[in-house]
Structure 1
Amino acid sequence: MTERENLLKTTTFPEFNFAEGELLLINKPYKWTSFDVVGKIRNSLKPLKLKVGHAGTLDPLATGLLIICTGKLTKQIDSFQAEEKEYTGTMVLGATTPSFDMETAVDQEFPLEGITEEDIYAATAPFKGDIQQYPPAHSAVKVNGERLYVKARRGEETELRLRNVTVSAFEITRIELPEIDFRIVCSKGTYIRSLVSDFGRQLNNGAYLSKLTRTRSGSFQLENAYEVAELVAHLRSKKEVPTAPEI
């Protein structure tokens, strides 16, 4: 049995109507960009010429729930994007990187002696509720029409602006230094990398993000998401792709 046949055997798909509009829950793979996922799905829908977009960008090194909209449903992307998000992840305490994650190499290291579990739990308090944070220099935020990560990769420094965000929950779920696992529930626009970096400074230390998974967006759960390979295999297995309705 081929890999595609195996995928189709284990996954149940509804009858899609992509032209009218479908909301697809996708588990974004590690090192894929959100646009990579959109492109893969758009290509699998050829010869239909449909709008396909995503609601809420995930960094390439993050995994988890990505909402994809097709056809007429792309008009609702902003409303889906505005919903509350939930993440689980791992940070590394005792070091920093310029990108606040593993995209760039460690640039500073700090001793961990003297930091207790009580200190770590207590350090979450300033990051709950309505807070302000700077976006990472290596981020997709646009300044004067250009992404910050493009400027950062050229070695340019850019004045960053504070953003107002809301963190409804920040829980420490495992401590095995230098690693700390966490769960965060937050508003649209919250940068978990920035929060992790600020958390390290709160402990008079350093921290960077080593793993991140989006587990929820609004009422949509990661456990209900398709794997990209499974969905694409299903779409490409269809003998006939329905054409868009006449306007």
Structure 2
Amino acid sequence: MSRRRKGRPVNGLLVVDKPAGMTSNKLLQAVRHLLGAAKAGHTGALDPLATGVLPLCFGEATKFSQWMLDSDKGYLARARLGVTTETGDSDGEVVSTDPVPELDEDRLESVLASFRGEIEQIPSMYSALKHNGRPLYEYAREGIDVERPPRPVTIRELVLESQGADEFEIRVTCTKGTYIRTLVEDIGQALGCGAHVTALRRTLAAGYTLEQAMPLEELVRRREGGESLDPLLYPVESALAGCPAITLDDDESRSILNGQAVRMKSQSGTGSVRLYHGAERFLGLGEVTPAGEVAPRRLVRQD
């Protein structure tokens, strides 16, 4: 007999400003409790040290969490020069200290320029990347070093926000799978003195920004005041805002909901699309095939 999931059906996304010192899963469970939601998931964990944008998916929105995970991310990162830690951030034990050379803005800019565009990164041993079914950080805590091949990532934007004698702050926009701790470590290595992250704030994830993110304490305040949090939810289809929309007629919608591809006379190109029956009824995610058909990929429940 299957276990009945506790909670009520809640469908949509809530964008939360994650506080420092809290795991992403603990935040997810706290917000799920506030909403009384039966089903929930997040779109990629942030380190406990990090703050900022964390979109949380509820109900039917969880079907699109992987698509959201694949989206570009944005960060503000502050780094300390001359100190290298085990984890690449200030939560880790100090591994080495080195004198910081005199750096002017031109010298730092020339190093940053080498990290813009397509680069390769070796993931940190203190990452959640899995090896033989286990996250790397579990091996690291056991003192086991696992060989990690370099992985290609793209740094779309890397801007020097501020600079001090032994620290700097950068703004980064990057593709999925980019480790900001590793980026800072590599910048420190290129400068010859090492570096680690002292503060990290995510400013963009899955198209959602800090302006849309609600602090946890505000959610708690509203709930304790008797307010419903449902009006704060973004609709399920907002997770796919980066996809073009296609409107289907009655017959086409029926075929899609039955798992069948449909041919669209005016459709060109390929890729992911949002599917609608009429102007407002969201059906789910589709794929335009090279044959000119629209095939269902991930459909939402139709009540």
| TM-score, with structure 2 as normaliser | 0.70
DSSP-derived class of the 1:195 partner: helix
Deviation at residue 241 of structure 1 after TM alignment = 10
Q: Deviations over 1:180-220 (max 9, x none)?
A: 01100101110000000011111122011111000112431
Whether the 8 Å CA contact 2:10–2:39 is kept in 1: the answer is: no
Specify whether residues 241 and 197 from structure 1 end up closer, same or farther in structure 2 by C-alpha distance, changes over 3 A only: closer
In structure 2, runs of 5+ residues without a counterpart are 1-7, 231-300
Q: Deviations over 1:20-74 (max 9, x none)?
A: 511111000001111011110122233x5x2111112111100000000101111
Specify whether residues 117 and 238 from structure 1 end up closer, same or farther in structure 2 by C-alpha distance, changes over 3 A only: same
Residue 171 of structure 1 corresponds to which residue in structure 2?
159
What is the aligned counterpart of 1:26 among 7, 16, 21?
16
Calculate percent identity across the aligned residue pairs. 35
Give the number of the structure whose residues are more often strand, by fraction. Answer: 2
Whether the 8 Å CA contact 2:84–2:196 is kept in 1: the answer is: yes
What is the aligned counterpart of 2:35 among 45, 49, 63?
45
What is the aligned counterpart of 2:25 among 35, 56, 63?
35
User: Is 1:106 aligned with 2:94?
Assistant: yes
Residue 130 of structure 2 corresponds to which residue in structure 1?
142
Amino acid corresponding to residue 45 of structure 1 in structure 2: L
Whether the 8 Å CA contact 1:44–1:236 is kept in 2: the answer is: no
DSSP-derived class of the 1:124 partner: helix
What is the aligned counterpart of 1:191 among 175, 179, 185?
179
DSSP-derived class of the 2:114 partner: helix
Deviation at residue 236 of structure 1 after TM alignment = 5.1
* Alignment RMSD: 2.2
DSSP-derived class of the 1:111 partner: coil
Whether the 8 Å CA contact 2:101–2:193 is kept in 1: the answer is: no
What is the aligned counterpart of 2:213 among 225, 228, 233?
225
Mapped to 2, the partners of 1:96 and 1:27 lie a distance apart of: 28
Amino acid corresponding to residue 23 of structure 1 in structure 2: L
Deviation at residue 147 of structure 1 after TM alignment = 1.2
| TM-score, with structure 1 as normaliser | 0.85
Whether the 8 Å CA contact 2:102–2:165 is kept in 1: the answer is: no
Deviation at residue 149 of structure 1 after TM alignment = 1.1
Whether the 8 Å CA contact 2:82–2:100 is kept in 1: the answer is: yes
Mapped to 2, the partners of 1:42 and 1:113 lie a distance apart of: 48
- Count of residues in Structure 1 that have an aligned counterpart in Structure 2: 226
In our comparison, the structure showing a higher alpha carbon Rg is 2
Whether the 8 Å CA contact 2:75–2:173 is kept in 1: the answer is: yes
Amino acid corresponding to residue 54 of structure 2 in structure 1: L
Deviation at residue 87 of structure 1 after TM alignment = 0.5
Indicate the larger mover: 126-135 or 214-223: 214-223
User: Is 1:86 aligned with 2:74?
Assistant: yes
Indicate the larger mover: 100-109 or 186-195: 100-109
Specify whether residues 241 and 60 from structure 1 end up closer, same or farther in structure 2 by C-alpha distance, changes over 3 A only: closer
Residue 15 of structure 1 corresponds to which residue in structure 2?
none
Amino acid corresponding to residue 82 of structure 1 in structure 2: D
DSSP-derived class of the 2:192 partner: coil
Q: Deviations over 1:129-160 (max 9, x none)?
A: 11110111111111111111111111111111
Whether the 8 Å CA contact 1:40–1:232 is kept in 2: the answer is: no
Residue 274 of structure 2 corresponds to which residue in structure 1?
none
